[in-house]
A and B are shown apart, each in its own frame.
Chain A
Amino acid sequence: GAVVSQHPSRVICKSGTSVKIECRSLDFQATTMFWYRQFPKQSLMLMATSNEGSKATYEQGVEKDKFLINHASLTLSTLTVTSAHPEDSSFYICSARGESSYTSPLHFGNGTRLTVT
Chain B
Amino acid sequence: KQEVTQIPAALSVPEGENLVLNCSFTDSAIYNLQWFRQDPGKGLTSLLLIQSSQREQTSGRLNASLDKSSGRSTLYIAASQPGDSATYLCAVEWRSQGNLIFGKGTKLSVKP
Contacts and interface: CB of A to CB of B under 8 A. Distances in A.
A106 B93 CA distance: 10
Interface size class of A (residues with CB under 8 A): 20 to 34
Contacts of A43: 4, 89, 101-105
B43 interface: yes
A44 interface: yes
SS class, residues of chain B in contact with chain A: strand
A66 to B, nearest CB: 21
Interface string B86-112: 000101010011111111110000000
A32 interface: yes
Contact of B98 (A45, A97, A110, A113): A97
A108 B102 CA distance: 13
7 contacts: A32-B98, A34-B100, A43-B103, A43-B104, A45-B102, A102-B93, A109-B43
Interface of A: 6, 32, 34, 41-46, 49, 91, 93, 95, 97, 102-111, 113
